[in-house]
Structure 1
Amino acid sequence: SSDAATVLRGLVETWALDIDGAELARIGLSLGADVPMCLAARPLVARGIGDELSMVPDFSTLGLVLVNPGTPVSTAEVFAALAHRDNAALPPLPRSIDFHSLRNWLEITRNDLEPAALAMQPAIGRALSWLNKAGSGFSRMSGSGATCFGLFETGNVAKRAAAEIRGRQPDWFVAATRSIASEGADGQN
């Protein structure tokens, strides 16, 4: 979805198209439910199938490590293997999001797709294990997999963790990055 959003933005820029954000989001939605979220490129909460978006007003910049063990996962197969489709709603996000509040919130939430993806691709579990060994404050699979993320207090800590994992798993995709802060939010790391 992020690739599709990037291509759409690139086409609009390359061809100097006069398309407003709402129209671009509508086009993106035709490509995938969460493409509009990726087009927005700011802290958002997605509900439904990823198409119901709301702004997150106070989200600090946080250190992250992304790890993909290089094993393909079919989104359609993961959704087909869901054990339940009527899970309870997630609790609301904290008003102000920093490392500690986000970690605490993530600990009481879930990724409904993770159990199905783990059953199909055990390497996802190994990626999560490596994130935890590298000191992640919280680790989870992203979306339908196989990419996993680890939450770190600062960007520098995330960079060191990524280097450690990359040194042990040179064939995996491993990248340190950071979250995008809400406009006006403090907390650059």
Structure 2
Amino acid sequence: MSVLAEAEARQAAPAKVNLFLHVTGRRADGYHLLDSLVVFAGAADAVGASAGAGLALTVQGPEAGALAAEPDNLVLRAARALAAAAGIEAHAALVLDKALPVASGIGGGSADAAAALRALNALWGVGWSEARLAELALPLGADIPACIASRPCRMGGVGEVLAPAPMLPPFGILLANPRVALATPAVFRARGGGFSRPASLPGGWADAAALARDLAALGNDLEAPAMRLCPPVTEVLAALRGLPGCLLARMSGSGATCFAIFATPGAAQQGAAALPGGWWRWGGGLHEAGG
């Protein structure tokens, strides 16, 4: 039996996908300003929380090995931050079921921290709102506020300025990673040139093809530097664009995970099955918040 089967609180930590990502400026403290349309895929880690004498974390699952040498997981830092802010003792047995690749541009660590905050918010009876949890989470990581709600959103600032996304049509999404970790700071350092303008988006799209057409006019400003640091990104993008039914392929976040948009989740699943077996790959639909 999985350890998570006995958890009193369990939260999904879905993959965060940047459908486009523009770097629009840089603050005096060195943090970059972004403009992005973010969605969350059905691919997800999971965090379980149950009563414990102290604060402990067990990491399991197919991608757990990549975190074995990590001395202080972001999940634990989030747990301690919530306990300190709520004025309670940090007592819980946490289990992270790791299914998403590490350092892959889909917000895995941020999603895990957000899921831990939601699980402990329930387990400890703190009762904080999403907005208050997001405020607490921002110092831990700029992606965590968006991951608290795990709903499609327009992301600005360094990641903390969140607005509702345009109305999205049903579509399928395929994620693929060549199993090469990319450190976000290194990708930003490798970026050259100036800054991009924020995107102009419509109020919504009638179907997946219309969404893909508009997104094709935008881009990911981190894609080119990531490809220089990690040439396999180029291979992944070429493979995705060659799949039948692919409407758009692009890198997510700072990479190396890339995504492809399809008309249906089923088409995305078929596409994932056709990719090389050595890559991490997943195909399906979007995460259903609250599910």
**TM-score interval, smaller chain:** 0.7 to 0.9
1:179 lines up with 2:286 in the alignment: yes
The residue identity in structure 2 corresponding to 1:127 is: V
Bigger proportion of residues as strand: 2
Q: Is the CA contact 1:43–1:181 (under 8 Å) kept in the aligned structure 2?
A: no
Q: Is the CA contact 1:60–1:180 (under 8 Å) kept in the aligned structure 2?
A: no
Identity %: 35
Aligned counterparts, 1:46-85, within 5 A: 46-85=155-194
Structure 2 stretches lacking a partner, 5+ long: 1-109
C-alpha separation in 1, matches of 2:143 and 2:210: 25
Structure 1 stretches lacking a partner, 5+ long: 183-189
C-alpha separation in 1, matches of 2:242 and 2:123: 43
Q: Is the CA contact 1:44–1:55 (under 8 Å) kept in the aligned structure 2?
A: yes
Q: Is the CA contact 1:152–1:158 (under 8 Å) kept in the aligned structure 2?
A: yes
- After TM superposition, the runs of 4+ consecutive aligned structure 1 residues lying more than 4 A away are none
Report the TM-score when normalising by structure 1.
0.86
Instruction: Indicate the structure whose relative CO is greater, using CA pairs within 8 Å and at least 6 residues apart.
Output: 1
Partner of 2:39: none
Query: Alignment length, in residue pairs?
Result: 178
Partner of 1:157: 267
Aligned CA-pair RMSD: 1.8
1:128 lines up with 2:237 in the alignment: yes
C-alpha separation in 2, matches of 1:5 and 1:21: 10
C-alpha separation in 2, matches of 1:69 and 1:175: 12
For the pair shown, which has the larger CA radius of gyration, 1 or 2?
A: 2
Bigger proportion of residues as helix: 1
Select which of 203, 209, 212 maps to 1:95: 203
Report the TM-score when normalising by structure 2.
0.58
Q: Is the CA contact 2:266–2:284 (under 8 Å) kept in the aligned structure 1?
A: no
C-alpha displacement of 1:181: 7.5
